[in-house]
Amino acid sequence: MATPKFAEIKQYILARIESGEWEEHSRVPSENQMAELFECSRMTARRALTELTDDGVLERSQGLGTFVAELKSQSSMMAIRNIADEIKDRGHGYSVKQLVLTEIQAIAPIAIALGLETGSPVYYSVLVHCEQDIPLQLEERFVNPKLIPDYLLQDFSVQTPHEYLSLVAPLTEARHTLEAVVANKHNQQQLQIEASEPCLQILRRTWSRKGVVSYARLIHPGSRFRLGGHLTF
C-alpha cells in the first residue's frame, strides 16, 4: 500500500531536521512549495505541516511562515500520551532504563492516593525515558495490585507502563498537578542533570472503571521539556 502524500511530506521534513540539515528556527518550505515538490494538493501539504506543528516539531508565525521549533521536547497539558509515542512522533530515538520493579508497603500518602489502607502492598516501578539517549522523564509509579495483578511480570523495555495499563485497564479518568521542583541528588543522577537544573514535576492519578489504577510522579529537566496546548473556542 502506497504511503499517503501527507505522510511522505512529514517524513521528508523529519529526515532533514534529524540530519541537522534544517536547524532550529530554520524556515521550511511553504504549503505551495511542498505541494509542488510532492505533486499534491495544497490541502495535503497543509495537513502535514499542521500535524508537525501540533506535535511541537514546527512552529508557525502569522505572516512569516513555518519554522523548525526549538529542539525541546513538548507535551500537551490536555492529553495523556505515551512518552514513547511522543518521542517517536518527533522522529527521534526512544529508549528506556528500568531501574526498579518491585512490591512495597504503601506509606500514608501513597495509600490515600490509591484508595488503599496504609501498609497495603503496592507495586512500584522506576523508569527513565530517554530521547536520543538523553534522559527526558523520570517515572516513579505506584500501582494498585488488586486491579493490576500482573504488573510485576511485565518487561517495560518492550512497552511502557502507560501502554500496558491502557491495555489491561482502559483509562476513564485522570487528574494531575504540575509544579516546579528541584530534584534531589538521587534524581539528579538518574536524569543526568546538575543540582541547579530546575525541573517540572507532574503528579498524576489514573482511574479505570474499577477504581484508582496508579499514582505516578513524573519529573522532567526544565531545559529539555516543555508543556503546551491549543484550545479552540
| pLDDT tens, residue by residue, 154-206 | 999 999 999 999 999 988 888 888 899 999 999 999 999 999 999 999 999 99
pLDDT at 233: 43
- pTM here is 0.69
Residues of the chain with CATH 1.10.10.10: 5-68
**What sign has the CA pseudo-torsion 172, 92, 130, 179?**
negative
- The grid coordinates listed for 73 are 521536547
In the predicted model, residues of the chain with pLDDT beneath 70 are 1, 71-79, 226-233
Whole-angstrom Cα distance, residue 93 to residue 110?
33
* CATH class (in words) of the domain with range 5-68: mainly alpha
Q: What amino acid occupies position 170? A: P
Whole-angstrom Cα distance, residue 171 to residue 213?
9
Residues of the chain with CATH 3.40.1410.10: 73-228
73-228 maps to which CATH number? 3.40.1410.10
Return the closest-CA partner of residue 128 out of 33, 218, 56, 216. 218
User: SS3 of 134, please?
Assistant: strand
Contacts of 2 (CB under 8 A, 6+ apart): none
